[in-house]
Structure formats: structure tokens, C-alpha cells
Amino acid sequence: MRKKEIRSLFRKKREAVSVTDKMKWDDLLLIQFQTIELPFLEYVFSFYPIQEYNEIDTFPITDYLHFKNPNLHICYPRTNLLQGTMEAVVCNADSIFEANEFNIPEPLDNELANPESLDIILVPMLAFDLNGYRVGYGKGYYDKYLKNCRPDALKIGLCYFEPVDSVEDANEFDVPLDICITPHRIYVF
């Protein structure tokens, strides 16, 4: 399947997820995440779930990571819509988020994390394939950003659904994941 078809199909699938299934699947994603053997972490780049898109709730995962390491720096994306770029903003419990032009919550804090300091990047998506290529919303923010991260930084995708066989139009601009977690399985690429 091609990205456009995958995007359309999986947007509909995610919109159809019930509140009950979403809560159950978010719990199962956390349980799966907790089985991954992780190195010592200093910086984690997460994403703020967009409720109107029925996105995965990342907060239980970041809470778990912060519990394991209270000194952990957790970052969230802030986009520059004019330049088509994204940056990782270091946040804390007092951080304030405000919706941008696309109604995506973004931090107002000013401390930025260097992309090379990130140990894990939790990557949002609609779908992924058996080779670790993801299909997002089509703007390319994450692929551009991930190219600036350390090669050994773990790129972990979170998805409610099992993979498609192949993203036929994946190209040199697409950065594959290292791991993708679904409610029922962990895929390592």
C-alpha cells in the first residue's frame, strides 16, 4: 500500500476506536513498553497526544520512565510551521502547553534539548510496516528531526494496530524506527 492509502485507512480505523478499547490498549502499550530493556536515560522526546485524533496516551509511559529516573529530562515537540521544522523542548511538571494553529498542544517553555542528547524518541504514527517505516500525518516533521539525532538514539513507535506488509512509497527521506510497540507485540527492526 502507498502512504496516502495507508493514511486514509488508518485515520478511519483510529477514529473508530472506542473509549474503552483506547484505555485498554494504552494500558497494554505501557505493559509492553515496560518489558523493553533500556539503557540509562537522560533525555526522552515524547509527544503530547492529540485527543481529537484519538492518539495514544504517552503520559503513562513518560510517568513510568520518570519514576525509574527522577532526574530524567522529558521533552515535547514545538513546531515552526513556516519553516516546517520541529524542536525538542525540555518540560517539567509545571510546564504549560498551548494549542498551535493545528490545535496541537505545544510547550511554552524555552529550554531546548539538543537532538544529539536524546536517548529515546517516542514517535507518533498512524501505521507502520514490517521494515520499520511509519506513516504519519504527511508533513515530514519527524523524519526531518530524526535525521539530526544520534544514530544510537532509540526511535520507538507506538501504534494501536499491527503493521501493513510494506509502505510501497517509502523513500530516502523516511527514517525507519528501531522498535514499534503495539498493544499485543513488540516489533524490532
Binding site for ATP, by residue number, is 3-7, 134-142
C-alpha angle 174-145-94 in degrees, rounded to nearest 5: 135
**Residues annotated in a binding site for substrate:** 55
Secondary structure element (H or E) that encloses residue 42, with its range: none
Bind-site residues: 3-7, 55, 134-142
Mode of pairing for the β-strands spanning 127-128 and 134-135: antiparallel
The answer for residues whose C-beta is within 8 angstroms of residue 186's C-beta and 6 or more apart is 32, 35, 36, 179, 180
Indicate the DSSP class of residue 156: E
